Amino acid sequence: MSHKATPDSSDEYCGTSYAAKLLNLSVGSVQTLVEKNELSAWKTQGGHRRISIQSIHDYQNRAALSVGSPFHDGKYLRVMVVEDDPATRAMYQSHFDLWDLSLDATISSSAIEALLDIPVLKPQVLLTDLRMPGIDGAEMLRQLHKHPQFAQVAVIVVTGLSEDDIAAYGGLPEGTHVLRKPVDMGWLRGYFQAMLSIRMGSKRRSATTAGETDHA
């Protein structure tokens, strides 16, 4: 496989972090696979590597690997976390690993990486810091808010900023939950648990309705 200069329009691409998640490898290992042409990739003008989803599946088949993410399993709540601080990212991951919840969590280190990956990941919950270098969380949310397909994504902003400071950033989209720092992980776990319960209830009602229709 080749390290492409331009993308194949027929393929879907993801960032290095999500590729590492799918393959259950470190980011460094994924980068090595790209350099060895084991994975097909290209770079954006901003220097962000995009890796072919098809080439990931092909590599999994060649290496007899199982899919590392239950992304397409409807039983899981798809969560994306956007956080530039490595220690905070590690903190989130450690809690997610300990919680007995059906979460498919992807953690991105920047807003630009998240914006590139969101169309592929299609998260149901987006948890983001507000102050980040480059594109900040507020600008990321404004860009997402322009696209109707992301209207159903539940958004949680984690910040230590005051209401006035948030307003100075341009405000937040309607319906955004604001979680103050330090992060109350107990609240966050309860939020995810409630989201999962709502989804399970909706599925049961849909199944009941379908059954009643079949017997009508």
CATH of the domain at 169: 3.40.50.2300
DSSP-assigned beta bridge partners for residue 155: 126
* Domain span including residue 94: 77-201
Encoded tokens for 85: 């601080």
Q: Are residues 175 and 93 in the same domain?
A: yes
Q: Are residues 139 and 195 in the same domain?
A: yes
Q: Does 22 reside within a domain?
A: yes
Q: Does 34 reside within a domain?
A: yes
What is the domain count for the chain? Answer: 2
Name the amino acid, one letter, at 137: G
Encoded tokens for 66: 């199982």
Q: Are residues 49 and 128 in the same domain?
A: no
Query: pLDDT per residue over 86-109, tens digit each?
Result: 999 999 999 999 999 999 888 988
Contacts of 208 by beta carbon, 8 Å cutoff, 6+ apart: none
Cβ atoms of residues 178 and 157 within 8 Å: yes
Q: Which residue has the tokens 């980040």?
A: 132
Contacts of 15 by beta carbon, 8 Å cutoff, 6+ apart: 48, 49, 50, 51, 108, 113, 116, 117
- Separation of alpha carbons 15 and 13, rounded Å: 7
The number of angstroms, rounded, from the C-alpha of 214 to the middle of its chain's C-alpha atoms is: 37
Overall pTM surpassing 0.85 (yes/no): no
Query: pLDDT per residue over 161-198, tens digit each?
Result: 999 998 887 888 888 999 999 999 999 999 999 999 98
